[in-house]
A and B are shown apart, each in its own frame.
Chain A
C-alpha cells in the first residue's frame, strides 16, 4: 500500500511537470509504474462494474469515447483513457489525475482503449471482464509484420477475457475469434444489417487464411445491426428493439459502425439497466475525438482534421468526406507511430479527389503522396514538406472555403498543436474539460 501511495504521488508530480511542458505524455505513467509495478492491478482490480477493453485496428478512440458516454449517461462512474493514449503507460497516465492516494480507482466501470499489442500486456496484469474487438486491417506491418499476427493478438486477448466479448460479424479475422473463447464467456455480435450491406463499400481486408467461407450466425436479439437511413441518420437494431433513429456529431459510415459496436457492448455491460433512449441521447452528444473528423473553426471557415493510418481507414474516410469537395491537404509522416512503410498508400483509391484536386501534400513523405496521387490522375497544387508552412499556405490560399486535412498520426498531433495555439483550442489530453 505504501508503495502504491508513493507511486501515486510520484506519478502525480510527474503529471504536473508534463502538463507544464505541454502534456500528452506517457511519462507520468512510466514513473508510477517504476515505483509500483503492480499499480494497474491495484487500481483496476476491484472496479465493480467491470473492466472493458476496446481493441482493433480502426476506430478504437471513437468507439471508446462513445461507449464511455453511453455507460456514464446511465449514471455509472466511468474511468476511461480519452486521449488515444492506448498503451498501458498511457492508461496509468490518464488515471493519475483522478486517482486518490490509496491508488484504488473510484469508478464503477473502466472503459479502456488499448492497441493490439498493449491489450495483451494489459491482460497479463488485469483480467478484462469484457472485450470489444473492432476489426483487423493492415496497419503498421513494420511493427506487427503480418495481418495474421494482429488477428492472433486479438484472439489471445479474447481468450483471456472473463465474462463476455462483442465481435464484428463482418470482419472474418474478428468473427473467427468466436471459436477460441474460454468456457462460459458470452458472445455478442455487431455489424451491418445484411439488408443494406450490399450497398456499402468493402470495409474489411480479405482474410486469405482459410479456403472455406466463414458462416456468421443469424443475428440474435442481443446482437446490434447498423441500419443507415441516409448519410447522417441511422438506427441500431437489436431483435425487435431499436436505438434510433439518431444523428452523430461525427460524420460517416465508420462512426456509425463504431456507434453500433459501442451500443452493443453497452447493452452487454449494463444488462437490464440499459435504456435505448438514454443511449440515443448520449450518442448524439458525443463530439469527435481530437483529429478524428474533428471540425475546427479556423478563421471563420471550418477546418476538418481526419486521421488516416491504413488503407481501410483512408478508404472509408474518402468515402465519407470525398463526396463533399473542399480545399484538401494530405500530410504523410513515416515516424514509428505512423508506420514507417508508406506502401499502403497504393492500396487506397484516390479517384474521388480527382475532380477537385488536392491543394497541397505535406509531411516527411509529401512527395511520395503527390506521386501516389499522380497515378490516380489527381491534380496536386503543390508540395510543402514542412507542416507549419503547409498549414499557412492552405489557410492563406483558401480563406473563403471549408478545408480538410487527411493526416497520419504524428502529422495530426503536430497540426493539432499548431491549431490549438492559433485558435485557442483545448490542448491534447484536456478533452474532458473541453
Chain B
C-alpha cells in the first residue's frame, strides 16, 4: 500500500480521520472514500464515516479517510465508499463530477469494492431519477432501481429485516424507489416506509454495494452491517480474509434494540 499519501492535493483528510487509539500492530491500511461530504451529507451521514473509520481502527487496521469533492481525484486504491443524502440543490451540484467518475465506480463495484449509498446517493446509483415534472435524470446504473419524485415525503423511524439482523434508522425522502425484477432489496420493512411505502422492500444490494434510505446514521447503531462492509473492504485491501478484533458493542445494542422496540410497538398500534 503506497502512493496514496500526498500526491492528491485536492483530497483532504477528513475530520473523521483524526482520532482514535491504535490497536496493536496494523493488519493493513484501508482507504475509505467519503463521496461529496459537503453537498451530500446532511442528516448525519458523517456519522457513518466516523463509525467506519473508528471500527476499522478498533479491528486493528489503519484507515485513511478521503473526502472526495467535485473535481478532485479518487485515490489509486479505494477499498470502501460511503455516500450520503443531500438536498435537491446538492444533488444538482455533484451530477457532473459523478458522471466523470462513473466508469471508475462501476468498475470498482464489479470488482466487489464495498459501497454504502444512502438516500440521495442511493438514488443516483440507480438507473434514473424521474422528477415530479417527468424529467428523467440518468443515474450510474450500479443498482437496478428507478426513483420517481413524489409529492409525499416519507419521514420517520425505519426498521428493516436484513441478513445482518434487524437494522434501524430514520428515513427522510420524497423519492419513491422501485426495484427492477431480479434486483435484491437490502431487506423487508418492519416499520416505516422504505423504498416506496407500498411493496415492503427497503434498499437494494448488488454484490457489496448497498443502497438504502437508512439515516440515523445507520452504521453506529447497526454494527453487523458496518462490519460486513468493513470485512469486504479489509479483504480487498489486504488480499487476506478479514481478521476482526474484539469490539464491545453494548451501547450500540442497547440503542438499537430499544429504538426497534419503540418503532415496532408504534407500527403495530397504527
Contacts and interface: CB of A to CB of B under 8 A. Distances in A.
Report, as a range, how many residues of chain A touch the other chain: 20 to 34
A382 to B, nearest CB: 11
Given A340-B156, A346-B47, A367-B258, A375 B89 contact: no
Interface string B11-47: 0000100011100000000000000001100111111
B188 interface: no
A60 to B, nearest CB: 22
Given A142-B172, A343-B217, A367 B254 contact: yes
A368 B153 CA distance: 25
B50 interface: yes
Nearest to A206: B38
- Find the residue from A340, A342, A370 having the highest chain B CB count within 10 A: A342
Contacts of A138: 42-43
Interface string A387-399: 0000000000000
Interface string A357-398: 000000001011011101111000001000000000000000
A349 interface: yes
A377 B255 CA distance: 17
Contacts of B73: none
A367 B251 CA distance: 6
A346 B220 contact: yes
Contact of A343 (B19, B155, B216): B216
B46 A208 contact: no
Interface stretch (A144-152, A182-190, A272-280): A144-152
Contacts of B75: none
Report, as a range, how many residues of chain B touch the other chain: 35 or more
B221 A345 contact: no
A208 B155 CA distance: 23
Contacts of A341: 43-44, 170, 172, 215-216
Contacts of B38: 206, 208
Interface string B44-56: 1111001100100
A375 B255 contact: no
Given A146-B87, A341-B43, A345-B44, A371 B252 contact: yes
B228 to A, nearest CB: 19
A433 interface: no
Interface string B154-183: 011100000000000010101000000000
B104 to A, nearest CB: 23
B244 to A, nearest CB: 18
Contact of A371 (B39, B45, B155, B255): B255
Contacts of A349: 15
A428 interface: no
A370 B254 CA distance: 10
A349 B88 CA distance: 26
- Find the residue from A141, A341, A345 having the highest chain B CB count within 10 A: A341
Nearest to A376: B19
Given A206-B38, A208-B39, A145 B172 contact: yes
Contact of A346 (B87, B88, B172, B217): B217
A368 B50 contact: no
A338 to B, nearest CB: 13
Given A145-B155, A340-B156, A351-B19, A371 B221 contact: yes
Interface of A: 138, 141-142, 145-148, 206, 208-209, 211, 340-347, 349, 351, 365, 367-368, 370-372, 374-377, 383
Given A340-B157, A346-B47, A368-B259, 7 more contacts: A142-B172, A147-B42, A147-B87, A208-B87, A347-B44, A368-B255, A383-B251
Query: Which 6 A/B pairs are nearest by Cβ-Cβ distance?
Result: A343-B44, A346-B47, A367-B255, A209-B89, A346-B44, A367-B254
Interface of B: 15, 19-21, 38-39, 42-47, 50-51, 54, 86-90, 93, 153, 155-157, 170, 172, 174, 215-217, 220-221, 251-252, 254-255, 258-259
19 contacts: A138-B43, A145-B172, A146-B88, A148-B89, A208-B93, A209-B87, A343-B45, A345-B44, A346-B47, A346-B50, A351-B19, A367-B251, A367-B254, A367-B255, A370-B251, A371-B251, A375-B54, A383-B251, A383-B254
